[in-house]
Chain A
């Protein structure tokens, strides 16, 4: 097989990191990561520091990337509101493509990393299980804008596009905005240190609702599969572990991993109650000889508050990707501790 070259904008976020680690193991890829921050994990990939929001900076650095065959676009510029996110996130994608298309003559595919927010999952109850072609919510977000933009841009081109739409993402990253797992395990580690049982911090309704997550190892494999194998290109695909669960059934498994009792439900704003926990965390780090990250290095509590405060089923149908040939399934209850164990092994958590 001829060697492929992957470009991963957003390289140290949760999904960018996952795809880089996957492609490295695969061995058939040259990998170039783009990020504003410098790299914070072990990797043989080439990292380029670039601000995609800056047209000149992007143009200068992307000019050199003539070997790119596949783009895994994982970059995300968070803003104060969903509406405000549209313009910068379109600019970043546009700056990238403006720079890349003229030089990357072998470009085959660009993949957008989206999610269930496509369906308005953050707005309130929505049609579930959600399907890719369901009518859009009335509130447009940058996923819709980016997909519309790439569809337009691709017209008449030899390269193809795809978009993947995971929901809860379960895996490791440092300081990325939307990381479900890191926040939960830090909350658990601090609960343990304080002698508390593992209380459910979300709403009582959400504890009983249906939810779906994807392990980042599986997500990366699916991303690569969609970009290189899926029968149907120029399409968006939901992706998850392949099953559904309720937090009430998963929470005991997380408690078990930390050797904690399952506590009662206590709904709190994590942003509020974790605000004064840096000293406790640094004590935990010292006691267990962990890597010297602060809580704010590792997680963003506002995302977790948003993710756990809903009270309705959140389900994505993955029939479409299965019909395209994808056959992998992870049993969520059986695999939930794998990524947590990785965190423990790399001395991030006790």
Chain B
């Protein structure tokens, strides 16, 4: 019997892992978040601010059974430099308490991403990217987190791992970064206006090589990396296991919404979508949806960044495959599954 402590449990990754593990009899699940869950769950949720050490001590000292920590929170800031301290602080605060408390701690996993390779600078980088590639010039809080954890683990019984996913594709509410929910809202509103599904990003991105990882596969990979000896104390790229281009995916997304594929029309989504709360409410009423505000679902700031990258974005999976991981999803064949989930949950029409 293992006990998973999932920090950032309402984010797109944390939430998927909660849902993946909560019905598994082998696992007890504890979720940490500042907010309380917006969905039904049998996991034990604790509301805690990881930036506040005394709050951590007060709320987490009783968690003596934790065997596996999955660290997925992200504290967004105005600049990459500003992100370093708070994101490192959250990890330090959590580990300070857990190391004292959880005598059966076996593993700590960091959720990093392809920003490890500098994709966030908006310019081409070496692709396919390998874990062993030289780092970019800091700042990058991933480097601080991993370096700190590697150092911390020396001489300890527990092990660490880190996953570097890219293009995370799954449902969440109130996240900083969510491509799926953003595109789902964008498409639904486009359809409501009777306009075709225009690609709102950089024209070069439409034809560049891209990759995503479905959260159902990512959750399995997280558990695999946290429990497999060959994966201990290593960082791994993870994606669906194939490559695609938005030009191959876009017609499938349009087809899901029964829309025509439109033009490539790069827009600033933050400004274009800023007046859409009313029309979204109208859509939700008309289709009897479970109403969330546009800004609870869509993350326009993230989208404006992610969809402006007009270059190939590719992570090499040789390392994780060599360590024994065999998970694989055909991106083009499975891209609409998460959209279908959202429709079944009455989040989108």
Binding site for B on A (CB under 8 A): 127-129, 131, 210, 242-246, 249, 313, 315, 317, 319, 322-323, 327, 329, 331
Interface of B, secondary structure class, is loop
Determine the chain A residues whose CB is within 8 A of the CB of B316 once the complex forms.
243-244
A243 touches B328 (CB 8 A): no
Q: Mark B248-282, 1 if CB is under 8 A from A, else 0.
A: 10000000000000000000000000000000000
Contact A244 B314, beta carbon cutoff 8 Å? yes
- Judged by a CB distance under 8 angstroms, whether B326 is at the interface is yes
Please provide the 4 A-B residue pairs with the shortest distance between their CB atoms, ordered closest to farther: A331-B318, A329-B321, A319-B242, A319-B330
CA distance A210 to B332 in the complex (A): 20
Q: Given A129-B242, A129-B243, A315-B243, does the pair A323, B328 have CB atoms closer than 8 Å?
A: yes
Contact between A249 and B126 (Cβ–Cβ < 8 Å)? yes
Partner of B330, one of A128, A313, A323, A329: A323
5 contacting pairs across A/B (C-beta < 8 A): A243-B318, A313-B209, A317-B242, A319-B242, A331-B318
Q: Is B126 a contact partner of A327 (Cβ separation < 8 A)?
A: no
- Chain A proximity mask over B33-45: 1 for CB below 8 Å, otherwise 0: 0000000000000
Query: Is B138 in contact with chain A by the CB < 8 A criterion?
Result: no
Whether B326 contacts A327 by the Cβ 8 Å rule is yes
In chain B between 299 and 328, which residues have their CB closer than 8 angstroms to a CB of chain A?
312, 314, 316-318, 321-322, 326, 328
Give the docked Cα–Cα distance between A74 and B245 (Å). Answer: 33
B11 close to A (CB within 8 Å): no
A243–B244 CB distance below 8 A: no
B139 surroundings in chain A (CB, below 8 A): none
In whole angstroms, what is the CA distance A131 to B244 when docked? 11
Closest partner residue, chain B, to A317 (CB atom): B242
Chain A residues lying within 8 Å of B332, measured Cβ to Cβ, are 131
Q: Is B122 an interface residue (CB 8 A)?
A: no
Task: Say whether A242 contacts B321, CB under 8 Å.
Answer: yes
Could you tell me the distance between the alpha carbons of A87 and B102 in the complex, rounded to whole angstroms?
73
- Given A323-B330, A327-B326, are A242 and B318 neighbors across the interface (CB < 8 Å)? yes
Which residue of the partner chain, among A244, A313, A319, contacts B328 with CB atoms under 8 Å? A319
* A317, B245: Cα distance in complex, Å: 12
Which residues of B line the A interface, CB within 8 A? Answer: 126-128, 209, 241-245, 248, 312, 314, 316-318, 321-322, 326, 328, 330, 332
Tell me the minimal C-beta distance from A132 to chain B in angstroms: 12
Number of A-B contacts (CB under 8 A): 44
Judge whether B318 and A210 touch: CB under 8 Å.
no
Measured in the bound complex, the distance between the Cα atoms of B332 and A131 in whole Å is 11
Residues of the B chain whose Cβ atoms lie less than 8 Å from the Cβ of A131? 332
Contact B248 A127 (CB under 8 A): yes
A329 partner residues in chain B, CB cutoff 8 A? 318, 321-322
A127 surroundings in chain B (CB, below 8 A): 248
Instruction: Specify which chain B residues have a CB less than 8 angstroms from the CB of A315 in the assembled complex.
Output: 209, 243
| Residues on A with beta carbons closer than 8 Å to the beta carbon of B326 | 322, 327
Q: How far does the Cβ of A258 sit from chain B's closest Cβ, in whole Å?
A: 23
Q: Tell me whether B243 and A244 are in contact (CB under 8 A).
A: yes
Q: How far is the CB of B303 from chain A (nearest CB, A)?
A: 25
Contact A322–B126 (Cβ < 8 Å) = no
Instruction: Report yes or no: B248 in contact with A322, Cβ–Cβ below 8 A.
Output: no
Instruction: List 7 extra interface pairs beyond A129-B244, A245-B128, A249-B126, CB under 8 A.
Output: A243-B128, A244-B314, A244-B316, A246-B127, A322-B241, A322-B328, A329-B322
How many angstroms between the C-alpha atoms of A42 and B316 in the bound complex?
37
Contact A319 B241 (CB under 8 A): yes
The chain B residue sitting closest to A209, CB to CB, is: B312
Please give the distance in Å from A30's CB to the nearest CB on chain B. 33
A131 vs B245: C-alpha distance in the bound complex, in angstroms? 13
Residues of B within 8 A of A249 (CB): 126
Closest to B128 in A: A244
Query: Which residue of B is nearest A241, CB measured?
Result: B318
Q: Which single residue of chain B is at the shortest CB-CB distance from A210?
A: B209
Tell me the minimal C-beta distance from B220 to chain A in angstroms: 16
Chain B residues in 8 Å Cβ range of A245: 128
Q: A37 vs B328: C-alpha distance in the bound complex, in angstroms?
A: 43
CB closest chain-A residue, reference B314? A244
Taking a contact as CB atoms under 8 Å apart, the answer to whether A210 and B312 are in contact is yes
CB distance from A332 to the nearest CB of B (A): 9
Contacts of B248 in A (CB 8 A): 127
Kindly name the residue among B128, B241, B326 whose own CB sees the greatest number of chain A CB atoms within 10 A: B128
Q: Which residue of A lies closest to B242 (CB)?
A: A319
CA gap between A127 and B247 in the complex, in Å: 10
Task: Give the chain A neighbours of B126 by CB distance below 8 A.
Answer: 249
Q: Could you say which residues of chain A place their CB within 8 Å of the CB of B328?
A: 319, 322-323
B159 to nearest A CB, angstroms? 24
A residues in contact with B317, CB < 8 Å: 243
**B residues less than 8 Å from A246 (CB atoms):** 127
Residues of A within 8 A of B241 (CB): 319, 322
CA distance A313 to B248 in the complex (A): 15
- What is the bound-complex CA distance between A197 and B138, given in angstroms? 34
Q: Which B-chain residue is minimally distant from A325 (CB atoms)?
A: B326
Chain A residues within an 8 Å CB radius of B244 = 129
Min Cβ gap A208→B in Å is 9
In the complex, residue of chain B having the shortest beta-carbon distance to the beta carbon of A315: B243
| CB-CB nearest in chain B for A322 | B328
- How far is it, in angstroms, between the C-alpha of A188 and the C-alpha of B107 when the chains are bound? 49
- Give chain B nearest CB distance to A143 CB in angstroms: 23
A329: nearest chain-B partner, CB-CB: B321
Which chain A residues border B128 with CB–CB below 8 Å?
243-245
What residues of chain A lie closer than 8 Å to B314, measured between beta carbons? 210, 244
- Whole-angstrom distance between the Cβ of A197 and the nearest chain B Cβ: 22
Which of A129, A131, A327 lies at the interface centre, i.e. has the most chain B CB atoms within 10 A of its CB? Answer: A129
- In the complex formed, the residue of A with least CB distance to B332 is A131
Q: In the assembly, what is the distance between CA of A244 and CA of B321, in Å? A: 14
Determine the chain B residues whose CB is within 8 A of the CB of A242 once the complex forms.
318, 321
Cα A245 to Cα B129 with chains together (Å): 10
> A314: shortest Cβ distance to chain B, in Å?
12
Give bound CA distance, A317 to B126, whole Å. 20
Shortest CB-to-CB span from A255 to chain B, Å, is 18
